[in-house]
Amino acid sequence: FIFKENFNRDADYKPSLYHLQPLRDIHLYSGANRWEPEPQGNINTVKILGATAIMILLLAAINFVNLSTARNSSRFREIGLRKVVGSFRSQIIVQFLVETALYIFTSFLLALAITQALLPWFSSMTGITLSVGELLNPSVFALLILFLLVLIGLAGGYPAFVLSAPAPAVVLRKQGDSFSKNSRWNLGLRETLVIIQFIVSVGLITGAIIVQKQLLYLSQRPLGFEAAQKLVIRNPWDDKMDDRFDAMTAALKQMPEVKAIAGSHNIPGRFENNYAQYSLKGIDRKTKSVQGALISVSNNFFSAMGAGISQGEGFPVEMNKQELDSFPCCIINETLASMLVQSNDTNLVGMSLDGFYGPLTQRKIIGIVSDIHFRSLHDKVVPTAFIVSKAVYPNFNLNLIVDINSGNMSEMVGKIESLWEGITPDWPFDSFFLDQSFDAQYRADQNLSVIIKVFTIVALFISLTGLLALVMYVTRSKRRELGIRKTLGASEEMLMRMMSWRFIRLVLVADLLVLPFIIWFASGWLEDFAYHTNVGWILPVLVVVLSVIITLVTILWQTRKAVSANPVDVLKAE
């Protein structure tokens, strides 16, 4: 009632909607709120990074199992002798679990040291200050100890129970390497574990490429204006802001390095904060109206920003002080133009637009400007009308935009700051570069890209060492078969192809399983951007080829060593 009575809105005007939000949810769950004073977090990013960290730990556990069984398979004679002299299987299991615990706790201490060394880099990249001491929080510390115990059970349980299983007689007859009747089952399990490792690695590689591709797309997409070498000066809101704007404009015009000076109530990258309900004159607002932004700019704003007028004309170049507040015309962007009419063939130039607040509720459309992105490319361009208004709110003298042509921007900023201090010593100089401010909107995405790259490198290293462990185990268990095949006339090239295919097929299975899921997941992430790249079909092919090449490089030396061995020496040893 108060709103309708005081602002003289239509009876059908929709009031604002209010929402309550818990304080603990403000940082991570405020994505839909454009008015947060501080940079927001994103709960989806937290979930992605948390899931990635868990998967890398899973890779490490799987890798430990593969490496342990591959390395400890040479200890079967030791295990057999220990059983012969009276050791119980439970004692051997405890021995393996204790060894695993020592490995994991040593790794934990090394991880703490590495984390402490990397925290300054992480803090500088994310702006979040953390310390290793936070792990000493009782609840966190208890959870950490529980996690380490679970990891010991998962990583050490399989080697402990499997390697201690064969009977002494079987082991001492040198049949331990084959794991007796379960050799095929164990080999199949190893291959399954390697597939899981490559599923995670290929998924991270694909995700890292997609994130990097999207960031490259964002950096290359036209914004509708030229952001480079434009310094924005904030003009404090007080009764002297108009005089201060005029004085700074006059002083800046005397500097030969300054190409243009413009004003705007809103700056690209800082959102728009004034809205109106627009409709064409003569059309019932209930039938066709568009809610859009209202931005006041100086008459030379579009030329100074490098924005193009696609239809009609811009604001007059010369305007006296009275015209700056009573100019009865407006310029609309292409998005608003397309939403006001059903047909793109309709020429809106010359029509009157209704819905403005202030003394002029109707303004004549004199031009249509190409869309300018006042928000990041996460959001679509907002339908916008531009007016010239200096003293009447919204006033364009809130920000000065200085287009600078100089090779030494730091020196120019110093000169402009000196001008400011001479004109208005009561207010500090508050400025920023437009391109840096706009790019800051993607800082969280850039940080995510860097972190995923680091995770990808770690995961790939773990997976390749796991694959190498499997290669070592298979080549050791296949020595007799390779020797017999070579004796019967098989060439080294034939044996190399046979052995290589055994491992390449594992990678191809991992690719086939993970690529559809990761492409679906990445497509959902890309939907967070109003403007985004497409995954396409080239990327999956590239990932498959890359994974096969990496696999071949990893296994080449070990398989080459196995197939080039003298069959006489191999069969004599067997």
Tell me: the pLDDT tens digits for 278-309? 988 876 555 578 889 999 999 999 999 999 99
In a domain, 291, yes or no: yes
pLDDT of residue 1: 45
Residues 166 and 293 in one domain: no
pLDDT digits (tens, 9 = 90+) for 517-535: 988 888 888 887 888 888 8
Instruction: Provide the domain limits for residue 351.
Output: 230-441
Least confident of 54-58, 432-436, 566-570: 566-570
Question: Residue 183: pLDDT above 60?
Answer: no
Integer-rounded Cα Rg, in Å, for the chain is 34
Residues 261 and 166 in one domain: no
In a domain, 502, yes or no: no
| Greatest CA separation for the chain | 106
Instruction: Please tell me which of 6-10, 149-153, 178-182 the model is most confident about, judged by mean pLDDT.
Output: 149-153
In a domain, 294, yes or no: yes
In a domain, 18, yes or no: no
pLDDT band at 64 (very low <50, low <70, confident <90, very high): confident
In a domain, 196, yes or no: no
Residues 313 and 430 in one domain: yes
Residue type, 62: I
pLDDT band at 17 (very low <50, low <70, confident <90, very high): low
pLDDT digits (tens, 9 = 90+) for 234-264: 999 888 888 999 999 999 999 999 999 999 9
In a domain, 97, yes or no: yes
Among 426, 441, 456, the domain boundary falls at 441
pLDDT of residue 343: 64
pLDDT of residue 193: 78
Instruction: Please tell me which of 54-63, 115-124, 247-256 the model is most confident about, judged by mean pLDDT.
Output: 247-256
Residues 163 and 103 in one domain: yes
Residue 342 or residue 334, greater confidence: 334
Residues 131 and 262 in one domain: no
Contact 533, 445 (CB under 8 A): no
pLDDT of residue 283: 67
pLDDT band at 422 (very low <50, low <70, confident <90, very high): very high
pLDDT of residue 171: 59
Looking at the 3D structure of the chain, how many domains does it have? 2
Residues 234 and 174 in one domain: no
In a domain, 193, yes or no: no
Residue 242 or residue 28, greater confidence: 242
> By percentage, how much of the chain surpasses pLDDT 90?
22
Cα 213 from Cα 176, distance rounded (Å): 50
Contact 241, 400 (CB under 8 A): no
Quote the mean pLDDT of the chain.
Answer: 81
pLDDT of residue 361: 85
Question: Residue 7: pLDDT above 60?
Answer: no
CA distances from 458 to 52, 204, 205, 448, 553 (A): 11, 10, 11, 15, 17
Among 178, 207, 239, the domain boundary falls at 178
Question: Residue 11: pLDDT above 50?
Answer: no
In a domain, 550, yes or no: no
Residues 89 and 165 in one domain: yes
Question: Residue 175: pLDDT above 60?
Answer: no
pLDDT band at 55 (very low <50, low <70, confident <90, very high): confident
Residues 152 and 238 in one domain: no
Cα 213 from Cα 205, distance rounded (Å): 12
Residues 430 and 341 in one domain: yes
Least confident of 40-49, 106-115, 425-434, 545-554: 40-49
Contact 423, 248 (CB under 8 A): yes
Contact 400, 245 (CB under 8 A): yes
Cα 419 from Cα 204, distance rounded (Å): 52
Among 373, 407, 441, the domain boundary falls at 441
pLDDT band at 269 (very low <50, low <70, confident <90, very high): confident
> Which of 184, 202, 206 is closest to 194 using CA atoms?
202
